[in-house]
Amino acid sequence: MLGALLASSAPFIDWSWIGTNAGVIANAIAQHAELTGIAVGCGLALSVPTALIAWRFHWARGAILGFAGLLYTIPSLALFVLIQPVTGYFSLLTAEVALTGYTLLILIRNVLTGLDAATDEVREAATAMGFTPTGAMIRVYLPLALPSLFAGLRVATVTVVGLVTITAFIEWGGLGQLIITGLHDYFYTPTVVGLVLSMALAAVGDATFVLLERIIVRWRQIEA
């Protein structure tokens, strides 16, 4: 059966295609990284203040997590199409609004988990040092939530790298365009290239935040 399979199918990777399409591949990587970077960046900028509000004001917590959860439940392809009438057909804004939306639940929940983890000793120490509740939140609890935030950033980045491939259906997609090309032409190479590079990009994004955390969160090393 394996012999028949090998004989019936084209070679899995056509290296010459990669050589002649190096420019296309490089552009796809750049677009994929850009779409991901903007979404995670906007997600971070929105999530931290939102999570702080949710933590500080208990009445807001359920509504914020509920909204982010609802957004997270909507299938990505459907969300692109549903917001298009407002954000523009096949526009960059459509892609980014939806992609950012998916990072919100992951990031807000992780920041809240980090904030909730502040122990009674930490709270008492902060009060004893004369911090106001909001001051303590910004200067004491938020820094302590950083490891949890970074864990969220890693998950969000890997998730968004995967979702960007779906934006190929609204004429973006980065590496998703390569993946779809393979389907149209019944030709493995672009799909395999798109798959491998997309996973590589996810790994690079993940590693970037591991590195950033090591640089920024110094006290963790002392603790360990």
Partner 1 sequence: MRFLTEVAQWLTSSANWSGPDGIVVRAVSQVELSAAVIGTSILIGVGIGFALGHTRRGGFFAVNAANAARAVPSLALLTLLVTWPIISLKGDGFYASFLALVALAIPPILTNAYVSMRGVDAEVIEAAKAVGMSSWQRFIRVEVPLAAPLAVAGIRTAAVEVVATSTLAAYVTFNDLGDFIFAGLATNDTVESFSGALLVAVLAGLTDLAFLCLYRLVLPVSSRRTASGSRVAAAPDAAIV
| Nearest distance, CB of residue 10 and partner 1, angstroms | 9
Residues that bind partner 1 (CB under 8 A): 5, 8-9, 61-62, 65-66, 69-70, 73-82, 84-85, 89, 105-106, 109-110, 151-152, 155, 158-159, 161-162, 165-166, 168-170, 175-176, 179-180, 182-183, 186-188, 191-192, 194-195, 198-199, 202-203
User: Taking the complex as a whole, how short is the minimal distance between the CB of residue 92 and partner 1, in angstroms?
Assistant: 17
Closer Cβ to partner 1, 88 or 135, answer by number: 88
Cβ 166 to partner 1 shortest distance, Å: 6
61 Rama class: left (phi>0) / alpha (psi -120 to 50) / beta: alpha
CB 115 to partner 1: min, Å: 15
- Both tokens assigned to 197: 């590079």
Is residue 141 packed enough to be buried (19+ CB in 10 Å), middle (13-18) or exposed (0-12)? buried
Alpha-carbon dihedral angle through residues 125, 210, 214, 53, given to the nearest 10 degrees: -30
Q: Judged by CB, which is closer to partner 1: 140, or 194?
A: 194
- What DSSP character marks residue 186? T
> Which residue, among 44, 100, 54, has the nearest Cα to 212 in the 3D structure?
44
Q: Which is nearer to partner 1, 52 or 153 (CB)?
A: 153
Asked if residues 157 and 38 have their Cβ atoms less than 8 Å apart, the reply is no
Question: Which CB sits closer to partner 1, 73 or 130?
Answer: 73
